[in-house]
Amino acid sequence: MNHRQPDNGIQQQAACGADGDAGHLDPLLQKPANSFNGDIHVHSAFLVDAHDSAHFTVSNREHGRQYRVKRAASCLLMPEPGDKVLVSGDAAGGLYIIAVLEQGASGRTHLRVDGELAVSADRLSLTAHDRLAMAADAFSLKAGSGAVDAADWTIKSHRYTLTSVELDVAAMTARYTGDQRESYYGSVTETTGRSARYVTGTDTVKAVNLDYAADFIARLSGNTTFINGEALVKADGKQILVG
């Protein structure tokens, strides 16, 4: 009875093949979970751990991965620590946060754009149920026409300049308060039902010609009253009473 002996060459070749496969797989098995090369594409959700002015540190604790990424230009919502974001890209082109999926802290949303932002639309509306605030080093508004409708309107400024070809101001009650007021006009016309003015100091009027006229009574009184005419003093009336 002949028993066939196993071929030692085949056994050795199989063993060498097994050893060769094991040697080829060792680098992949020992590869760290958070390392990648340009051939591996990442498109998954991560949590934002921290960020600085240009980069974000994101991690996926379930898979033990952590990357340092940038924010895509199309992602206007500023990611904050604790937010769940979508990261896409590879090592060759870079990893980017392309969207904020969930915000860790609700109640505040920060839109961030690097550089200049221009918004263009046929109609644009901004609505805030509680408060609308704008802050800038310089503010400019240009429009063909404008209107402001507010229950209370307050303007605080170190220096305020108003220039207009025609200005109309209408108010039930108008008050002006200040330490000093100066007005320069080519002509002034005022019409009032009743006028009263109280000056605590000296009231001085200087004019080339001064003309005061009253339909009924004109009175000039003082503790000491002087009427001086350099060339002429004239008093004219049907009756002139002195004393």
* Residue 47, pLDDT score: 92
Low-confidence ranges of the chain (pLDDT < 50): 1-6, 8-35
Q: What span, in angstroms and rounded, lies between the C-alpha atoms of 158 and 152? A: 20
Beta strand pairing call for 65-71 and 94-102: parallel
* Residue 64, pLDDT score: 83
What's the CATH class of domain 36-102? mainly beta
Q: Which of helix, strand or coil describes residue 19?
A: helix
* Residue 52, pLDDT score: 87
Residue 211: C-alpha distances to residues 205, 207, 217 (Å):
12, 10, 15
The burial of 79, by beta-carbon neighbours within 10 Å (0-12 exposed, 13-18 middle, 19 or more buried), is given as: buried
106-144 pLDDT, tens digit each: 777 888 888 888 989 999 999 988 888 989 999 899 999
Against a cut of 0.75, is the pTM above it? Answer: no
Q: What span, in angstroms and rounded, lies between the C-alpha atoms of 192 and 198? A: 17
* Residue 37, pLDDT score: 53
- Residue spans per domain, the chain: 36-102
* Residue 46, pLDDT score: 93
CB 90 within 8 Å of CB 39: yes
CB 48 within 8 Å of CB 18: no
